Copies of this chain bind each other. A is one copy, B any other.
Amino acid sequence: MTQQKGEFGTEKTREAALAEIANRIFFRLYQSANMMHKTGTRALDEFGVTTQQWAVIGALSRPQAEDGLSVGDLARFLMVSRQNIAGVVTRLEDQGCLERLRDSNDGRSRRIRLSERGRELWRAIRPAIHEYYDEALAGFSFEDRTALLTGLNRLLDNMKRL
């Protein structure tokens, strides 16, 4: 209750200022992520791809994922629950963008890979993604970008431990 007797606007203490800035950071994080999902999904509207599907397709298109990833692998990589990824994967599978293969080595696991259609979709949406990045980061210098990335990295590392 540090702000109980704080006089805002006139003689704000350093501690109160820190709390105020922290509050704004998390509020902006909340708004920014929502805005990213909204505008990002809108940018890929003609392809019928949401930002989460974009993230999954992007993860599967990496060279390291060429021979497929399990639901658990995807969940760890994206830092979301297995149950969440399962839904996205099912919808992408229904669209024919990826295929689930039983892993012959591990009867529990199913390896998920991009289908040919999924690879075509990835090639198709990449220019739109590139354009979206350019517009969303317009006016950001190289240093501005690395500074923002570093801040988010540190924040994420802290929250991972909570």
A150–B132 CA distance with the chains assembled, in angstroms: 20
Structural contact, A18 and B145, CB atoms closer than 8 A: yes
Q: Does any Cβ of B come within 8 Å of A154's Cβ?
A: yes
Q: Which residue of B lies closest to A51 (CB)?
A: B30
- List chain A positions with a Cβ less than 8 A from chain B: 1-2, 14, 17-19, 21-36, 39-40, 42-43, 51, 55, 58, 78-80, 126-127, 130, 132-140, 142, 144-149, 151-156, 158-162
Across-interface contacts of A135 in B (CB, < 8 A) = 158, 161-162
Q: How many copies does the complex hold?
A: 2
A92–B43 CA distance with the chains assembled, in angstroms: 34
A32 contacts which of B43, B146, B155 (Cβ < 8 Å)? B155
A135–B154 CA distance with the chains assembled, in angstroms: 12
Across-interface contacts of A35 in B (CB, < 8 A) = 79, 156, 159-160
Q: Which residue of B lies closest to A126 (CB)?
A: B1
User: Given A1-B127, A35-B160, A80-B34, are A153 and B21 neighbors across the interface (CB < 8 Å)?
Assistant: no
